[in-house]
Amino acid sequence: MSKLIVTPEQTAGSDGSILSITPESAGWEYVGFEVLRLQKGQIVHRETEDKEVCLVLLSGIANVSAAGQEWPEIGRRMSIFEKIPPYSVYVPNGQSYGIEALTEVEVAICSAPGHGNYEARLIIPEQVGTEVRGSGSMERLVHNILPEQEPADSLLVVEVFTPSGHWSSYPPHKHDRDNLPDESLLEETYYFRTEPGQGYAIQRVYTDDRELDETLVVKNGEAVLVPRGYHPVAAPPGYEVYYLNVMAGPRRIWKFYNDPDHEWIVKSTIK
């Protein structure tokens, strides 16, 4: 299996962890990502240490506390593919947080370096920017959970629903050079889910010089590391593909660069 694919554990750990990516395990500097699958009544307590964290309730209902605040009974969708925006909680570095599952809960823990500039807060679905991006077979639904316009030190968090037979993160783009205003350097993780669950996504990760050039078959529940390069995604006919993106780098801005070979696609779709 490709070193870019991270496969979930068959059995959750004692704290519910089924998938974990750290900067050390990924071989990079900024992005951390973890998925917890909690049973009803299960309680987890964590410290953020030197990281800021965005807790994304992928499905289920929970009581969440952080930095002396409490948010009871948050969560609305019981399945990711209900396609309504999620509840999330932002927690700065140097704080603690707790999650108590009131139903079965799947929660993503997105992390990146924190600098203590912002307070803990609840992000409700109504605060999540929703947009349809692209057109034709490139159309997809985007939920901007923690975009650069909203306060955070490092994290950028977004989720995307790609319909059956469509392409996403397309035309191919990259963000691996600290070359503003044209391009920003951002590491990125993709956490995939498919509907139905036996499906898969196709993702290609490649650089201009083809030093990195991999075409990946990504199964339900797996994650992909994008350390550099272009990274388009395709949803096979019959299967809807969801992914949660976490990005972070030396500067918190998303500026991407399109593959010049495919730049014409962007221009041809501009009305």
pLDDT bucket at 196, cuts 50 / 70 / 90 = very high
pLDDT of residue 271: 44
pLDDT of residue 268: 74
**In terms of pTM, does the model score above 0.75?**
yes
Residue 170 belongs to domain with CATH number:
2.60.120.10
Residue 9 has pLDDT above 90, yes or no: yes
Q: How many domains does the chain have?
A: 1
Residue 162 has pLDDT above 70, yes or no: yes
pLDDT one-digit tens code per residue, 56-113? 999 999 999 999 999 999 999 999 999 999 999 999 999 999 999 999 999 999 999 9
Structure tokens at 211: 């030093």
pLDDT bucket at 270, cuts 50 / 70 / 90 = low
* Residue-range definition of the domain harbouring residue 12: 5-269
